[in-house]
C-alpha cells in the first residue's frame, strides 16, 4: 500500500504539525509513505522512511507548481493520495486526478468553508472524485454536509492526535520557572498564531476584568502582535501581558499555567487543547462549534457562555476560584485525552480507512474493466 500525503508544508502549527506527526506513526507491513509539499523539504520534517517531494512553489503567482505536483505523483505512483489544508484541498486533488491516482482522501482541517464562488464550485466538482473525507469532529461533519454538500456516507470522523508522553512530575515546576511565574501568580496561557481568528484580543480584554495577580502569557507569532500590544496598553494591562513569540516548547509550557485559554472565533480541533488536557491544565474556551464535543461534552473543560469579555472572564474566574473542582476535572481530562487524542489511535484509524478505500477502489476498477457478458 503506497500512500502520499499532500500539504503546504510539514510545519509546527496546527494541521501541518499533525500531518508530520501522523507520518511518524503510520506503520504496518507493506506500507510505503511519501509526502508532497508546496514548500521545500527541511531536515527532520519527516522520518527518513518517508519519500519526500516538493512542488517548489516560488511565490503566490507561481502557477507552475501544479504541474510539478502532478509529475511527482506520476513518478511515485501512489495507491492513495491523502490531501490536507487549502493546498491539498484544491491543488492536491486536482493533481491526483490529473495523475490518475486510484483513490483520494481529503481531511478538512478548517472550521469555516466560505470560499469565493470559483473555489466553491471547484470543490463541488472535486468532491465527486474524492473517495472519502475525514472530519475531525461530529460538529465538523455536520458542517461539511450543510455547507459544502458533502455526502455524509463518505465522511469518517477521526479526531486529531498528538504524541502522548508519560506524565512528568517535574513538568509543572520546570514550566513555571520557564514562564517566570511568581509563587502566588496565576498564569493564563494562550498558544497559537497571533491572528484575528484566534482572537487574542478577547483574552486581553478579559484579563482587564480579572485580579492583579493574574498574568496573561501569549505564545505565538503573527501579524496581530502590534495591535494586541496596543490593546493591552490601552486597557492598562501591558505589564500583566507577556508576549513570548513563537515557542517550539509551547506544549511543555502549558503544564505551568493555571488555565489554558482558547479564545478563537472558530476552530476545527486545536492541538493546544489536547496538550492542555494531557498536562492536566484546566481549559477555558469560547463556544466555537465543536468546543464542547472536544472537551467531552464539557466535562473536561469550561466553555464560556458567549464571546464577550465579561462572559469569558467569569468563566476563567470560576476555574481560578475552584482549584479542587478544577483538579478533579483535570484528572478525568487527561485520561480522556490519552484514550481519544493519542496520535497512535489516529494512525490506526487512518490505516483502517486507507485499506477500506483502496479495497473499494480496486473492486470498482475490476468491475469496470471486467468483460461484459
pLDDT tens digits, one per residue of 61-114? 777 899 999 999 999 999 999 999 888 999 999 999 999 999 999 999 887 666
Q: Are residues 106 and 212 in the same domain?
A: no
Q: Are residues 176 and 251 in the same domain?
A: yes
Task: Give every CB contact of residue 27 below 8 A, 6+ residues apart in sequence.
Answer: 347
Q: Are residues 151 and 28 in the same domain?
A: yes
Task: Give every CB contact of residue 204 below 8 A, 6+ residues apart in sequence.
Answer: 216, 228, 231, 232, 235, 237, 241
Q: Are residues 282 and 361 in the same domain?
A: no
Helices (H), the chain: 14-25, 65-76, 85-87, 93-98, 117-128, 138-148, 171-178, 200-207, 225-234, 250-253, 271-279, 291-294, 309-320, 323-340, 343-369
Q: Are residues 312 and 349 in the same domain?
A: no
Q: Are residues 198 and 86 in the same domain?
A: no
pLDDT tens digits, one per residue of 179-225? 999 999 999 999 999 999 999 999 999 999 999 999 999 999 999 99
Q: Is residue 372 part of a domain?
A: no
Q: How far is CA 44 from the centre of its chain?
A: 20
* Contact in structure between 219 and 191 (CB atoms under 8 Å): yes
pLDDT tens digits, one per residue of 17-38? 889 999 999 999 999 999 999 8
Q: Are residues 118 and 216 in the same domain?
A: no
Q: Is residue 97 part of a domain?
A: yes
Q: Are residues 106 and 218 in the same domain?
A: no
Q: Is residue 249 part of a domain?
A: yes
Find the range with the poorest average confidence among 13-22, 107-116, 331-340: 107-116
Please list, residue by residue across 79-115, b when 16 or more beta carbons sit within 10 angstroms of its beta carbon and e when fewer do. bbbbbbbbbbbbbbbbbbbebebbbbbbbbbbbebeb
Q: Is residue 28 part of a domain?
A: yes
Residue 1 pLDDT grade (very low, low, confident, very high; cuts 50, 70, 90) = very high
**Mean pLDDT for the chain overall:** 90
Cβ atoms within 10 Å of 225's Cβ, excluding its own: 17
pLDDT tens digits, one per residue of 288-328? 988 998 888 878 999 999 999 999 999 999 999 998 888 88
Domain count for the chain: 2
Domain interval for residue 149: 2-162+342-367
Cell triple for residue 204? 486581553
Q: Are residues 245 and 317 in the same domain?
A: yes
Q: Is residue 194 part of a domain?
A: yes
Domain at 125, CATH number: 3.40.50.2000
Q: Is residue 157 part of a domain?
A: yes
Phi and psi (nearest 5°) for 51?
-70, 130
Q: Are residues 201 and 57 in the same domain?
A: no
Residue 361 pLDDT grade (very low, low, confident, very high; cuts 50, 70, 90) = confident
Q: Is residue 351 part of a domain?
A: yes
Q: Are residues 239 and 130 in the same domain?
A: no
Task: Give every CB contact of residue 67 below 8 A, 6+ residues apart in sequence.
Answer: none
Question: CA–CA separation, 161 vs 353, rounded Å?
Answer: 16
Residue 42 pLDDT grade (very low, low, confident, very high; cuts 50, 70, 90) = confident
Question: CA–CA separation, 360 vs 302, rounded Å?
Answer: 42
Closest CA to 181 of 281, 35, 44, 114: 281
Residue written as grid cell 455526502: 151
Q: Is residue 188 part of a domain?
A: yes
Is the pLDDT score of 226 beyond 90? yes
Q: Are residues 30 and 176 in the same domain?
A: no
Amino acid at each position: 500500500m503506497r500512500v502520499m500525503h499532500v500539504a503546504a508544508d510539514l510545519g509546527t502549527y496546527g494541521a501541518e504539525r499533525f500531518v508530520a506527526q501522523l507520518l511518524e506513526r503510520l506503520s504496518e507491513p507493506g506500507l510505503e509513505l511519501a509526502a508532497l509539499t508546496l514548500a521545500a523539504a527541511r531536515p527532520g520534517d519527516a522520518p527518513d522512511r518517508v519519500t519526500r517531494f516538493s512542488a517548489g512553489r516560488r511565490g503566490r503567482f507561481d502557477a507552475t507548481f501544479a504541474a510539478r505536483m502532478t509529475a511527482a505523483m506520476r513518478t511515485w505512483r501512489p495507491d492513495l493520495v491523502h490531501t490536507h489544508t487549502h493546498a491539498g484541498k484544491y491543488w492536491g486533488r486536482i493533481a491526483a486526478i490529473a495523475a490518475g491516482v486510484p483513490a483520494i482522501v481529503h481531511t478538512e482541517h478548517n472550521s469555516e468553508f466560505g470560499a469565493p464562488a470559483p473555489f466553491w464550485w471547484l470543490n463541488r466538482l472535486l468532491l465527486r472524485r474524492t473517495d472519502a473525507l475525514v472530519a475531525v469532529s461530529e460538529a465538523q461533519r455536520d458542517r461539511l454536509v450543510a455547507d459544502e454538500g458533502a455526502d455524509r456516507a463518505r465522511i469518517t470522523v477521526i479526531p486529531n492526535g498528538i504524541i502522548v508522553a508519560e506524565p512528568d512530575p517535574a513538568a509543572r515546576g520546570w514550566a513555571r520557572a520557564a514562564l517566570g511565574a511568581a509563587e502566588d501568580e496565576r498564569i493564563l496561557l494562550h498558544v497559537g498564531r497571533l491572528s484575528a481568528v484566534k482572537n487574542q484580543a478577547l483574552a486581553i480584554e478579559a484579563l482587564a476584568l480579572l485580579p492583579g495577580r493574574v498574568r496573561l502569557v501569549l505564545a505565538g507569532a503573527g501579524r496581530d502582535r502590534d495591535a494586541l500590544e496596543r490593546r493591552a496598553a490601552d486597557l492598562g494591562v501591558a505589564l500583566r501581558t507577556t508576549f513570548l513569540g513563537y515557542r517550539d516548547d509551547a506544549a511543555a509550557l502549558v503544564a505551568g499555567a493555571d488555565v489554558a485559554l482558547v479564545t478563537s472565533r472558530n476552530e476545527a480541533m486545536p492541538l493546544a487543547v489536547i496538550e492542555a488536557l494531557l498536562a492536566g491544565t484546566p481549559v477555558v474556551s469560547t463556544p466555537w462549534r465543536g468546543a464542547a464535543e472536544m472537551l467531552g461534552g464539557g466535562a473536561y473543560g469550561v466553555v464560556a457562555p458567549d464571546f464577550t469579555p465579561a462572559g469569558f472572564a467569569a468563566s476563567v474566574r470560576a476555574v481560578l476560584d475552584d482549584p479542587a473542582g478544577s483538579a478533579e476535572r483535570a484528572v478525568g481530562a487527561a485520561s480522556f485525552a490519552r484514550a481519544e487524542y493519542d496520535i497512535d489511535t489516529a494512525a490506526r484509524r487512518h490505516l483502517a480507512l486507507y485499506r477500506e478505500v483502496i479495497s473499494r477502489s480496486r473492486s470498482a476498477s475490476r468491475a469496470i474493466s471486467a468483460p461484459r457478458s
